[in-house]
């Protein structure tokens, strides 16, 4: 029971610091970074094996120069690139959600601050400053997660463009080497 309490303590602190929206942002960030790690793993391990397999399959063909062989090569390459590109729309969606969730947290936090000030009859500047600081934490968190996510998406798109070009070059070179 004590271990469960220890595990829930950071969640309680997160709720106290920024409200339930901060917890939702944390979940979105975990999903986003898990997907980013999966893409990194896919690129480092699975992609290279799949690319090598495609090159072997292409060079094992007897005929490479006809129109239908060129179309087949294009379809195979596009299929392989699509596997690398597959989670990109989901990553972009999660990155776009982060600032919106941050703004939602700020709005709900400000509503709580103004509500508590209206009920307390004391208009202390310190209480309002603490509340505003607490309300802006989700926005900061949402923006920080979004920026890191955008950096990863930008890098992934660069890798996809580069690998698309490399794959086509290697497939063309494999045919030239086979006929030379």
**Rounded distance between C-alpha atoms, residue 20 and residue 88, angstroms:** 27
CB count, 10 Å around CB of 27? 11
Ramachandran angles phi, psi of 121, nearest 5°: 65, -5
CB 72 within 8 A of CB 57: no
The two tokens of residue 104 are 């939602």
Query: pLDDT 10s per residue in the chain (180 long)?
Result: 677 777 777 767 777 777 788 889 989 999 999 999 999 999 999 999 999 999 999 888 888 888 988 899 999 999 999 999 999 999 999 999 999 999 998 888 888 777 777 776 666 666 677 777 778 888 999 999 999 999 999 999 999 999 999 998 988 887 776 665
pTM of the model: 0.80
Residue 121 Ramachandran class (φ > 0 left, ψ -120 to 50 alpha, else beta): left
Give the whole-angstrom CA distance, residue 175 versus residue 180.
9
CB-facing half-sphere around the CA of 68: CA atoms within 13 A: 3
């Amino acid at each position: 029971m004590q271990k469960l309490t220890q595990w829930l303590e950071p969640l309680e602190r997160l709720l106290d610091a920024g409200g339930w929206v901060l917890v939702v942002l944390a979940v979105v960030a975990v999903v986003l970074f898990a997907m980013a790690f999966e893409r990194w793993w896919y690129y480092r391990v699975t992609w290279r094996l799949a690319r090598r397999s495609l090159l072997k399959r292409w060079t094992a063909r007897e005929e490479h120069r006809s129109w239908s062989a060129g179309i087949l090569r294009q379809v195979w390459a596009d299929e392989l690139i699509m596997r690398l590109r597959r989670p990109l729309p989901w990553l972009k969606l999660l990155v776009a959600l982060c600032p919106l969730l941050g703004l939602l947290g700020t709005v709900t936090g400000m509503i709580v601050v103004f509500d508590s000030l209206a009920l307390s009859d004391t208009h202390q500047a310190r209480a309002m400053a603490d509340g505003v600081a607490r309300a802006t934490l989700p926005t900061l968190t949402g923006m920080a997660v979004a920026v890191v996510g955008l950096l990863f998406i930008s890098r992934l798109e660069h890798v996809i463009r580069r690998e698309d070009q490399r794959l086509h070059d290697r497939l063309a070179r494999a045919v030239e080497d086979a006929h030379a």
